[in-house]
Amino acid sequence: MTILWPIALITFKEGIRNRAIYGITLVALLLFGATALVATMIPRDVGKVSVDMALSTVSFTGLLIVLFVGINLMAKDLDKRTIYTVLSRPISRPQYIVGKFLGMTMLIIVTMSILSLLAMAAIIMLKVLHADYFTRFTWQAIILADCLIVLMLIVLSAVSFLFASFTSSSFITLVLTIITYIIGQSLNGVKALIESPPQELGFSVSPMTMKLVQAAYYLFPNLSLFDIKLQASHALSVQSSFVLWTMMYGVVYIVLSISLAALIFRRKEFP
């Protein structure tokens, strides 16, 4: 652990000082402002709309941080050969990957905490202005939804580390991570759709397509599991067993991705 901390800390510092973070925070502030404007246009549902939009903003800006700051943190080490500096120390390849990932996780947690506080400030402001329309509302659901967004971003970041371990450029890692995000968000819906009876669908799905979707279902992270914005905005209860299983799924996916990345990285050369 003592060797991981310096790697994690410099990764975090390099990430948090990146100018892109300021730009993304500015985007978040604008979107929170838009939340206030849009929510007040729908007075009866102002509570639901404000929670949904605020959480969507946190999720979207978090995604930007993973894609445009996080991927660079790892990929720049390879592109610019900064990795020589790190690997010339008494650090093994797996330690480098784990340390770097811990730093990235710290960055996601800190930036998401700040963005979540801003989201809560926006919700509080609207709640004060429109208290009558916030009858079905719980902070507990919002905080839980926030935590699952953070976990989803950490899962996505772990997957991006896996891609960076075998690709040769940051651009390919970025593209693969975006594809994973899109597939991960739509997996549940597509699987449910193709598994519906043909009479309901109106067409039959070929066995090949069925197998492809099922393979993708087990291969790609099911990111839609982590999305409980709808429940949070409607103050619906979420079963604790669901939350527990989702968290375990996320942790297992992270451990597998990082272990595989470390394994690939052991034999990677930096000529």
Partner 1 sequence: MITINSISKELKEGITGKRVKALEGLDLEIKQGEVFGFLGPNGAGKSTTIKILMNLIFPDTGKAEIGGKNVQDPEARKVVGYLPENPYFYDYLTTDELLWFGGRTAGMDPKSISERSDILVQRVNLQNARKRPLRTYSKGMVQRAGLAMALIHDPDVVILDEPMSGLDPIGRKMVGDMLIELKGQGKTIFFSSHILNDIERFSDRAGIIINGRLKRVDTLQNLLSGGMDLEDVFMREVASAEGGAAA
- Least distance in angstroms from the C-beta of 101 to partner 1: 17
Nearer to partner 1, 68 or 249 (CB): 68
Task: Decide if residue 270 touches partner 1 (CB under 8 A).
Answer: yes
Q: List, as one string, the DSSP characters of 43-57.
A: GGGHHHHHHHHHHHH
- Least distance in angstroms from the C-beta of 245 to partner 1: 38
User: Beta-carbon neighbour count of residue 186 at 10 Å?
Assistant: 16
Rounded Cα–Cα distance for residues 247 and 267 (Å): 31
One character per residue 22-61, x = contact with partner 1 (rule: CB under 8 A): ----------------------------------------
Task: Decide if residue 90 touches partner 1 (CB under 8 A).
Answer: yes
Q: Say how many residues touch partner 1, by CB under 8 A.
A: 27
Label residue 159 exposed, middle or buried (CB < 10 Å: 0-12, 13-18, 19+).
buried
- Least distance in angstroms from the C-beta of 78 to partner 1: 11
- Least distance in angstroms from the C-beta of 10 to partner 1: 5
Task: Decide if residue 18 touches partner 1 (CB under 8 A).
Answer: yes
Place of tokens 């034999």: 267
- Least distance in angstroms from the C-beta of 100 to partner 1: 12
Among the listed residues 47, 49, 55, 51, the one whose alpha carbon sits nearest the alpha carbon of residue 130: 47
Contact 112, 57 (CB under 8 A): no
- Least distance in angstroms from the C-beta of 44 to partner 1: 47
Nearer to partner 1, 5 or 245 (CB): 5
Rounded Cα–Cα distance for residues 124 and 118 (Å): 10
Task: Decide if residue 89 touches partner 1 (CB under 8 A).
Answer: yes
Rounded Cα–Cα distance for residues 123 and 156 (Å): 27
Contact 126, 38 (CB under 8 A): no
Task: Decide if residue 5 touches partner 1 (CB under 8 A).
Answer: yes
Rounded Cα–Cα distance for residues 178 and 172 (Å): 10
Choose which of 22, 33, 81, 189 interacts with partner 1 (CB under 8 A): 81
Instruction: Tell me what percent of the chain is helix, strand and coil, each rounded to the nearest 5.
Output: 85, 0, 15
Nearer to partner 1, 82 or 185 (CB): 82
Rounded Cα–Cα distance for residues 201 and 198 (Å): 5
Nearer to partner 1, 17 or 206 (CB): 17
Residues that bind partner 1 (CB under 8 A): 2-3, 5-7, 9-10, 13-14, 17-18, 80-82, 84-85, 87-92, 95, 267, 269-271
